[in-house]
Amino acid sequence: AAYGKSIRYRIDDGGVVWDGFSEITKQTLEAAARRRSTPWEIIQGDKEHSASNNALIEALESSANQFVPTRFSYEEFKNLHGDLIFGGQQPKRALDAIKERLSDDGYFLRTGIQVKKNGAKGNGFMVQRIDSVEPEQIIV
């Protein structure tokens, strides 16, 4: 069965007063227990992770070309967008985590490919804007 929202309450004058809904979920409590931290630390970490993902998505979308695949080595992309563009994760893992969201936005991402630039080979990825314009239907 699905779990509902968690409620937030406070104790006031010896009674319990409803104070809205809480951001803390069952998964938050389980993660806090596994990591031996507080639920607040887990929620803050999720918000930071989401912010770094958004920055990575914006960088990829601005770098993509609609007509030809754009290839980058992981190092080249770090040099262009800063060392923290992958959010402190391994580049392939960070890119794989946002692949589905990019696909929903109309971008194709392929990771773990060999990239050759200026005679140097390295691990990297390819990103391309997919033409998502659908032809208009003509009634005959």
Dihedral (CA of 38, 41, 47, 52) sign: negative
Tell me what the mean pLDDT of segment 7-32 comes to. 86
Give me the percent of the chain exceeding a pLDDT of 70. 89
In which residue are the tokens 């887990």 written? 42
For residue 1, the model assigns a pLDDT of 47
For residue 24, the model assigns a pLDDT of 83
Residue 49, phi then psi, degrees to nearest 5: -65, -40
Q: Report CA-CA distances (Å) from 75 to 39, 48, 51, 87, 91.
A: 35, 23, 21, 14, 9
Tell me what the mean pLDDT of segment 45-63 comes to. 82
pLDDT digits (tens, 9 = 90+) for 26-37: 888 888 888 888
pLDDT digits (tens, 9 = 90+) for 83-134: 888 888 899 999 998 898 888 888 999 998 998 887 788 899 999 998 655 5
Q: In which band, very low, low, confident or very high, does the pLDDT at 71 lie, cut at 50, 70 and 90?
A: very high
DSSP annotation of 65 reads B
Tell me the domain boundaries of the chain. 17-129
Q: Report CA-CA distances (Å) from 72 to 3, 51, 52, 66, 124.
A: 42, 22, 19, 15, 6
